[in-house]
Structure 1
Amino acid sequence: MPRFRAAVIPLLVVALFAVPVAHSQDLQALTTASRQQLDVVKVLLTQEAAWNRGDIDAFVQTYKDAPDTLMVTHQISHGFAGLVEEYKHDYPTKAAMGTLAFSELEARPLDANFAIVVGKYHLERAKKEGGNAEGVFSVVLEKTDKGWKIVLDHTT
């Protein structure tokens, strides 16, 4: 179990109960924000699990299937189709995908329909498959009728 899973959930639970209850509206806002944080972190956990199964198709389902979805890496990809094409080109096999682990995840609601998550990633793979890689990322998620979806991914 990566460190962030062990740390994120207890911290959110502590945050819920450590704040003095001054008004029921304040508690409701905190509960909503905390639920939102859990929901967007689940998107990243879904990504990690799909990646580690070697399932690019499931991995990309965490992105919004829209022409304005953006991915910023070594280039800028516009739209869901371009993003899928880039992933499949860069990671054609399970061996090339390696094993992904996210850490130090920080989820922050922006409003009821948007949130950001920042964190670190580590990709473990054989040298002949490109070797290990690591870096930082930020994603913006939108609450859609299909759940929380990534609309902007900036990964270094």
Structure 2
Amino acid sequence: MKMQTLLTALLLSAVLHAQSADEKQIRTTLDRQTAAWNSGNLEAFMDGYWRSDSLMFIGKSGVTYGWQNTLNNYKKGYPDTAAMGKLHFDIIQVKRLSVIYFSVVGKWHLARSIGDLSGHFTLLFRKINNKWVIVSDHSS
């Protein structure tokens, strides 16, 4: 009985460590995105996304598929640093869905001289080639 309890405790410890390491990587990705946005670098901001035609972005205009199409939409909607403003994320929940998927729910806020914007988002992260990337983004 003691051996089974010990094995269970070790397994639980390993799972919690893996989750905390994965969650840390995801939060680091979001921090990097914030820094890139705030420096006016949309290409670096997009490093957090899956570089694939299967990337899905859902916003006020509907669904956009593809990394390049998503970048193009960001460039169109935020053509300069005044339009981009300064980004801040408030993370509400980071939840493991499986070994390769995490869900992140939060609020975004742009402080801008031309008027602030804010909303909420749900991100689906997937571990691809040992890197956590956003494969689906629903922002409103």
Q: Pick from 23, 26, 32: which aligns with 1:40?
A: 26
Corresponding residue for 2:134?
Answer: 150
TM-score by length of 2: 0.89
Corresponding residue for 2:16?
Answer: 30
Rounded Cα–Cα distance in structure 2 between residues aligned with 1:84 and 1:135 = 19
Count of aligned pairs: 133
Asked if residue 110 in structure 1 is aligned to residue 102 in structure 2, the reply is no
In structure 2, list runs of 5 or more residues that go unmatched: 1-7
Give the deviation of 1:146 after TM superposition: 6.2
**Cα deviation code 1:60-96 (max 9, x no counterpart):** 1111011110001112111111101100100111111
Pick the structure with more strand per residue.
2
Q: Partner amino acid for 2:76?
A: H
Rounded Cα–Cα distance in structure 2 between residues aligned with 1:53 and 1:146 = 27
Rounded Cα–Cα distance in structure 2 between residues aligned with 1:61 and 1:31 = 25
1:7-18 to 2 correspondences below 5 Å: none
Corresponding residue for 2:108?
Answer: 121
> Match of 1:61, SS?
helix
Rounded Cα–Cα distance in structure 1 between residues aligned with 2:109 and 2:95 = 22
Q: Partner amino acid for 2:80?
A: T
Asked if residue 132 in structure 1 is aligned to residue 132 in structure 2, the reply is no
Q: Pick from 42, 53, 63: which aligns with 2:39?
A: 53
Structure 1 or 2, whichever has the larger Rg, is 2
Q: Partner amino acid for 1:31?
A: H
TM-score by length of 1: 0.80
After TM superposition, what 4+ stretches of structure 1 lie above 4 angstroms from structure 2? none
Cα RMSD of the aligned pairs, angstroms, is: 1.5
In structure 1, list runs of 5 or more residues that go unmatched: 1-21
Give the deviation of 1:104 after TM superposition: 3.1
Corresponding residue for 1:101?
Answer: 88
